[in-house]
């Protein structure tokens, strides 16, 4: 893969957003989504500012890009993020169908400043019975009824 000067400029914007976030009381993370080399959305971490643990830069940026483009499918777009995405953000990136991810800092860098996203990556590798937060299956048969309803629906919007 060839890294272009445009890629570097877009990453610098994500890094600028992360710095701006720190200066405004947020976390040190920023993200930009681009389509055809043009910024569609940019966001920074606002977990503590909004009292929302899902307000990571990448998730907020995906939400804004979807609003701007009027779609839940960001195929054709690329995300530039100032740090390797945590598992939640990585999942959101995959669900949004972004074409590529560029990141600056890695998860070890984040752990070095007490953002231990790697903890969640390690948790996901464990069997459910060994995870820190207990997980309990409950009422599967009742819930499967709704899945069958969805599966038989002919006018659903697939995603």
* Burial per residue of 120-152, b for 16 or more beta-carbon CB atoms within 10 angstroms, e otherwise: eeeeeeeeeeeeeeeeeeeeeeeeeeeeeeeee
- Cα-only R_g, the chain: 18
Question: Tokens 């609003």 belong to which residue?
Answer: 67
Given the residues 5, 19, 20, 58, select the one marked as catalytic.
58
Dist CA 41 CA 116 (whole Å) = 26
Task: With beta carbons less than 8 A apart as the criterion, state whether 85 and 96 touch.
Answer: no
Is 58 in the active site? yes
Strands (E), the chain: 30-35, 38-44, 77-83, 100-105
- Residues designated as active site: 58
């Amino acid at each position: 893969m060839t890294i272009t000067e445009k890629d570097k400029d877009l990453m610098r914007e994500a890094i600028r957003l992360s710095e701006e976030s720190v200066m405004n009381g947020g976390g040190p993370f920023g993200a930009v989504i681009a389509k055809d080399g043009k910024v569609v959305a940019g966001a920074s971490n606002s977990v503590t500012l909004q009292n929302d643990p899902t307000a990571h830069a990448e998730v907020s940026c995906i939400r804004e890009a979807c609003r701007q483009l009027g779609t839940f499918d960001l195929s054709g777009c690329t995300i530039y993020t100032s740090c390797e995405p945590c598992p939640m953000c990585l999942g959101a990136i995959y669900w949004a169908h972004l074409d590529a991810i560029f990141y600056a800092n890695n998860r070890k860098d984040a752990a070095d400043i007490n953002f231990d996203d790697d903890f969640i990556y390690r948790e996901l590798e464990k069997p459910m019975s060994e995870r820190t937060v207990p997980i309990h299956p409950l009422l599967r048969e009742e819930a499967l009824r709704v899945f069958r309803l969805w599966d038989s629906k002919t006018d659903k919007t697939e995603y």
